Amino acid sequence: MKIYSKEELNENSLSLTYDDISLVPIEISEIRSRVEAATKISFLGMNLGLPVVSSPMDSVTGLDMAVELNKLGCLGIVNRFDSSLEDIIKNGKTSSEIKAVSIALNSPDQLIDSLAEKGYIICLDTANASNKAVLQKCEEIKTKHKVKIIVGNIAQGSILKELVNAGADAVRIGIGGGSVCTTSIQTGIGIGQVSSLLDVYFARENENLNIELIADGGIKSPGDIAKAISLGADAVMLGRMLSGTRETPGEVIKYNDQLWKKYRGSASFGVKMKNEFIEGEETMISYKGAVKNVIDGISDGLRSSMSYMNCKDIATLKKSNSFAVLSNSSYLERLPKK
């Protein structure tokens, strides 16, 4: 079996996803227990206990989710689709409770000014950051305010330098990889998340650019999070993994004696509520209870992966450079059998 480095994975002729690769421990681990592995990171000037950022989807991150994730050492980005942003301003939520919010290209200047003045991180939430209007908006905000800006999404690194020049502090990587995203089907755009992440990572490294990378989409498990960090991501953005929890917006629905909550893509009809081109789907997710349980599971899984890889901290995990490329049978063999 060949052991691949990041460089070799990046040169693969195929577009790779998380299911196509595996981390390969090549050292004798000195970590006796996963509790010895530290998952703390510095991200956009903040100290986080876990490299997890919530997606600014209307069925994932409202005020309750953002506040709770902050308590749990993660970053929640409040969605831009309802009255959440107005509530933040009216109710005087402080940056110690909520740290980040998302806006659209057409969000009112007054709203953006208010958010920036209160010290919130601004997430310029667009489907395609490889766009002149996005670059102009980012530069406009950065010129006017001393604020951290997250921009997204991109699928490869050719535009990364332009985003940095426009003032972006972090970029969301991934187009079409979300579980309720139909962009790839509707448009033919989008490559595997592993290949997307590596392409952007090497664009940053080769040009020595100062920007943080967020792996956004396609993450289904703590193992995928470990892979994303090992491939160069500074943080991961989660949607489906956090969906269905108590803190997500929306009511708990009882159907067939089971509890459910809605989960939908940002470009689904339920969000747009008008006859526009739709690039997202809606579904129901089994109710999961408190998001703390999900975060605890992610922490345990990530620490366990770090113990296998002999990585005592996230910085060391990011330097991992030993991967296997899996056949389909190899991937299926590892799945739990019922």
User: Which residue ranges make up each domain of the chain?
Assistant: 6-333
Q: pLDDT of the chain along its 338 residues, tens only?
A: 999 999 999 999 999 999 999 999 999 999 999 999 999 999 999 999 999 999 999 999 999 999 999 999 999 999 988 666 776 767 666 666 889 999 999 999 998 998 998 889 999 999 899 999 999 999 999 999 999 999 989 999 999 999 999 999 999 999 976 556 666 667 777 789 999 999 999 999 999 999 999 999 999 999 999 999 999 999 999 999 999 999 999 999 988 889 999 988 665 434 444 455 445 578 889 999 999 999 999 999 999 999 999 999 999 999 999 999 999 999 888 888 87
The pTM (predicted TM-score) of the whole model is 0.92
Domain 6-333 coded CATH 3.40.50.1220: no
The 3-state secondary structure of the chain reads: CCCECHHHHHCCCCCCCHHHEEECCCCCCCCCCHHHCECCEEECCEEECCCEEECCCCCCCCHHHHHHHHHCCCEEEECCCCCHHHHHHHHCCCCCCCCEEEECCCCCHHHHHHHHHCCCEEEEECCCCCCHHHHHHHHHHHHHCCCCEEEEEECCHHHHHHHHHHCCCEEEECCCCCCCECHHHHHCCCCCHHHHHHHHHHHHHHHCCCCEEEEECCCCCHHHHHHHHHCCCCEEEECCCCCCECCCCCCCEEECCEEEEEEECCCCHHHHCCCCCCCECEEEEECCECHHHHHHHHHHHHHHHHHHCCCCEHHHHCCCCCEEECCHHHHHHCCCCC
